[in-house]
Amino acid sequence: MNTGTPTPVILDVDTGVDDACALLLAALHPGIDLRGVTCVGGNAPLREVVANTLTVLDTCGREDVPVAAGAAVPLLEPYADARHVHGHDGMGDLDWHKSARRPDQRHAVELLRDLLVEAAEPVTLVPLAPLTNIALLLRTYPEAARGLARVVFMGGGAQAGNATASAEFNVFHDPEAAAVVLDACAELEVPVTMYGLDVFYGPRVSRAQVRDHLVDPGPAGLAARLIDFQCERFGSPDATIGDAGAVCAVLDPDGLSTTRLPVRVELAGTWSRGRTVVDLRDWDGDLAHDPHGQAPAVLDVALGVDGERYADLWWRTVSGSA
Ligand code: RIB
Ligand code: CA
């Protein structure tokens, strides 16, 4: 667990039930210096994503954190939301008190550029959504990458998909953006951690654990309602904290086991478009004869997580029992 000075962090979100869980942790934990949040269309349309993001930050008393709207649709792929998972409003249809605030006037890409260029020390960028904003940033203002310490993104998976049998939702939603981000980070020498489906479902909180907080008016109540919504929707006694696990990985990297592996994004496959092709081979002889050669992007791919440790970190922080 990092116990030094707070880590400067920017989140990119498509809030989203589990994005909301991540926002709660990032806004409340003293180890995170939350510099800004950018929004992209994904789980829900951009308008709902911005409204949900402002609502979560208001609930945490973090009206100081700038929020900007970014891309509403993917670079090439037709837009398709995930409201069958996250509810019509994108955040569990909880009737939670909505923020009356308006977002920052800047486009997300401009806010990202300004925050990174102005940063006195390198910032950890945590994309938890389709990577459209990040691709646009890195191709429009590559010099902003000098302000990046690392990208820790929730997306992809070495073994399986969820949006399709092959592809994870964030990458499937905008495969071109994901491919651009991996290539740009390789070219700009930005370290990347891939927090994918191999670990995404590990950190889980039970319905019983949150029951006593369901009527709380503040962050604990919202956190409890988000977990309760997922348990109800999936008919399960517990629910993943999802995107919040990537924020846990920033706070407590020792809770995650990663391996440096080459990764490509499949753009052309009929049944595999959007798949993160993680090269798990451990013999150079095969690579030497591989016509594709090694992928330029070599990431720290998360293949194991201490789920209990991260679930406990999240719940202790958001319920105020830390
Ligand atoms: O596949 C899971 C990802 O897709 C999460 O970021 C979730 O919020 C959705 O955006
Ligand atoms: Ca998300």
pLDDT digits (tens, 9 = 90+) for 87-146: 999 999 999 999 999 999 999 999 999 999 999 999 999 999 999 999 999 999 999 999
Q: Is residue 1 part of a domain?
A: no
Tokens at 46, concatenated: 């951009």
Mean per-residue pLDDT over the chain, rounded: 97
Q: Is residue 184 part of a domain?
A: yes
Residue 1 has pLDDT above 60, yes or no: no
Atom of ligand 1 nearest to the CA of 82: 9
Q: Is residue 27 part of a domain?
A: yes
Task: Compute, in angstroms, the gap from residue 45 CA to the centroid of ligand 1.
Answer: 14
Find the mean pLDDT for residues 6-19: 98
**SS3 sequence, the chain?**
CCCCCCEEEEEEECCCHHHHHHHHHHHHCCCEEEEEEEECCCCCCHHHHHHHHHHHHHHCCCCCCCEEECCCCCCCCCCCCCHHHHCCCCCCCCCCCCCCCCCCCCCHHHHHHHHHHHCCCCEEEEECCCCHHHHHHHHHCHHHHHHEEEEEEECCCCCCCCCCCCCCHHHHHCHHHHHHHHHHHHHCCCCEEEECHHHHCCCEEEHHHHHHHCCCCCHHHHHHHHHHHHHHHHCCCEEECCCHHHHHHHHCHHHEEEEEEEEEECCCCCCCCCCEEECCCCCHHHHHCCCCCCCCCEEEEEEEECHHHHHHHHHHHHCCCC
Count of structural domains, the chain = 1
Of residues 178, 180, 126, 123, the one with CA closest to residue 146: 123
Predicted local confidence at residue 2, as pLDDT: 59
- Atom 1 in ligand 1: which residue has the minimum CA distance? 169
**pLDDT grade for 322, boundaries at 50, 70 and 90:** confident
**pLDDT grade for 321, boundaries at 50, 70 and 90:** confident
Q: Is residue 83 part of a domain?
A: yes
Q: Is residue 136 part of a domain?
A: yes
Task: Compute, in angstroms, the gap from residue 40 CA to the centroid of ligand 2.
Answer: 9
pTM of the model: 0.97
CB 241 within 8 A of CB 272: no
CB 241 within 8 A of CB 311: yes
Of residues 237, 230, 209, the one with CA closest to residue 319: 209
Q: Is residue 80 part of a domain?
A: yes
**pLDDT grade for 283, boundaries at 50, 70 and 90:** confident
The environment of the single-atom ion ligand 2, i.e. residues with CB closer than 5 A, is 14, 16, 19, 128-129, 243
Domain of 24 in residue numbering reads as: 7-318
Predicted local confidence at residue 3, as pLDDT: 62
Residue 310 has pLDDT above 70, yes or no: yes
Cβ of residue 27 lying under 6 Å from some atom of ligand 1: no
Predicted local confidence at residue 23, as pLDDT: 98
Q: Is residue 2 part of a domain?
A: no
Q: Is residue 123 part of a domain?
A: yes
Nearest ligand atom owner, CA of 81: 1
Task: Compute, in angstroms, the gap from residue 173 CA to the centroid of ligand 1.
Answer: 10
Cβ of residue 12 lying under 6 Å from some atom of ligand 1: no
CATH number of the domain bearing residue 141: 3.90.245.10
At 158-204, the pLDDT tens digits run: 998 999 999 999 999 999 999 999 999 999 999 999 999 999 999 99
Cβ of residue 276 lying under 6 Å from some atom of ligand 1: no
